[in-house]
Amino acid sequence: MKKLIWHHNNRTGGTTIENIWRGDLDIFHCDKNAFEKGENYNYERIKESDIVHLHSNGICPLYAKYYLNNEKQWKKLISERMRMTVIRDPISKFESEWGSYLERKNGKMLPHVPNFDLEKVNSPCASSIEKCGFYLNQDKDFQININEWMNIYIRHHTSNLPDPDINIKDKYKKQQIGKISPFFNQTISESYSTNSMRFFLDRNRQYKNLVVNLSLEFILMPRAPFMVDIMLANENLDKSLAGLIYANKNIKELTIFRGQSISFEDLTSEIQKLRVHERSADFKKNKAFTMDACNRQMFYMLNRDDYTLWQSAIFSGSQFLKSVHKYNHMK
């Protein structure tokens, strides 16, 4: 059985894809928990597993790490496996991420206006988080919508706003505020550097993560497209997955459709039943995470690599489906 490296960009139908894998497969999740177990554990698990599920969320750059430390061995490992990813329209993806954080996490991890409450700081009953005016507590009164955030995002990339990695502590070391102020330690030094803040300020995340984790060659010189190196578009995922399973016997072997004689149309229907839409209809209509026309234009200009990659996935996917339809009608 041919093994697979699945590079999972968040908000690109990952739950649906998880539902098509066979339950008896050895699937290794390359995520933060695995990363903390060390290089040897991860490398051995990557070698032995049927599917390497790389959660590409910026906290687990395992592929780059091992590739740089052991180039020959890593290239050999990659050459023995199929590689797959799904790319999504950058704007739709960003809106979905913003809405997901707002709906599932109640806005607590979204960038927002600092929420410092002096009464809570002075209260003898206040928790340590309340005493420091914890930034990640995004109350409704302090929430900002996606277009307000886009103003910050655009200014950050076109002017001189500080970088999210800036270390404010260094600037104030002489004053030694940190020894007496939980507000300094937890808010001034961390608020602008939280994972969510960096996540929502980043540009071209799909392209950069793909290059880091599966190499630039995966994009520029794919091996046997849709047979060995597979790049799908999220917008046509149901039919693309059906075509992939229908035409690629190695992928089919990994799925719940293994051993079944099933038409392309029936595959599409079955995958649509497995499709998971995590955001509610009400949230999809909410203007709090829908970019206006001006911000859409600026976002596209600032994320050209992602946009080009997505267009490539759309075009190559449509060509692949045409060949699948042609083959299907010939049978």
For residue 132, what pLDDT is reported?
56
CA separation for the pair 234, 250 (Å, rounded): 21
List the one residue out of 97, 83, 96 whose CA is nearest residue 4.
83
Tokens at 6, concatenated: 């699945």
246 and 304 share one domain: yes
For residue 166, what pLDDT is reported?
58
Please give the residue range of the domain that contains residue 150: 110-193
Residue 55 is inside which H or E element, if any? strand 51-56
Q: Tell me the helices (H) and strands (E) count for the chain, helix number first.
A: 20, 5
- 96 lies in a domain? no
158 and 46 share one domain: no
User: Residue for token digits 């950050």?
Assistant: 156
For residue 227, what pLDDT is reported?
94
| Residue 327 falls in which region: left (phi positive, over 0), alpha (psi -120 to 50) or beta | alpha
The answer to whether residue 51 scores a pLDDT higher than 90 is yes
* 327 band by pLDDT with thresholds 50, 70 and 90: confident
Query: Which of 45 and 184 is assigned the larger pLDDT?
Result: 45
208 and 326 share one domain: yes
317 and 214 share one domain: yes
Claim: this prediction has a pTM higher than 0.85: no
218 and 80 share one domain: yes
| Sign, Cα dihedral of 173, 176, 179, 181 | negative
The answer to whether residue 111 scores a pLDDT higher than 80 is no
178 and 296 share one domain: no
SS3 content of the chain, % helix, strand, coil (to 5): 60, 10, 30
* 45-63 mean pLDDT: 74
71 and 114 share one domain: no
CA separation for the pair 294, 150 (Å, rounded): 10
| Residue 193 falls in which region: left (phi positive, over 0), alpha (psi -120 to 50) or beta | alpha
| Average pLDDT value for the chain | 80
Tokens at 96, concatenated: 């979905």
Tokens at 215, concatenated: 């190499």
User: Residue for token digits 């070391």?
Assistant: 173
Query: Which of 108 and 158 is assigned the larger pLDDT?
Result: 158
For residue 58, what pLDDT is reported?
46
DSSP state of 28: E
- 144 lies in a domain? yes
Least confident of 67-71, 169-173, 215-219, 258-262: 169-173
Residue 87 pairs with which residues in a beta bridge? 233
* Number of other residues whose CB lies within 10 A of the CB of residue 34: 18
For residue 198, what pLDDT is reported?
73
CA separation for the pair 135, 277 (Å, rounded): 30
76 and 186 share one domain: no
* 89-106 mean pLDDT: 83
84 and 212 share one domain: yes
3-class secondary-structure state, position 4: strand
Please give the biggest Cα pair distance in the chain: 78
The answer to whether residue 114 scores a pLDDT higher than 70 is no
CA separation for the pair 300, 33 (Å, rounded): 34
For 262-293, what is each residue's pLDDT tens digit? 999 999 999 999 987 666 666 666 777 789 99
Tokens at 183, concatenated: 């507000």
User: Residue for token digits 């903390």?
Assistant: 36
214 and 321 share one domain: yes
CA separation for the pair 271, 102 (Å, rounded): 28
CA separation for the pair 319, 331 (Å, rounded): 19
27 and 122 share one domain: no
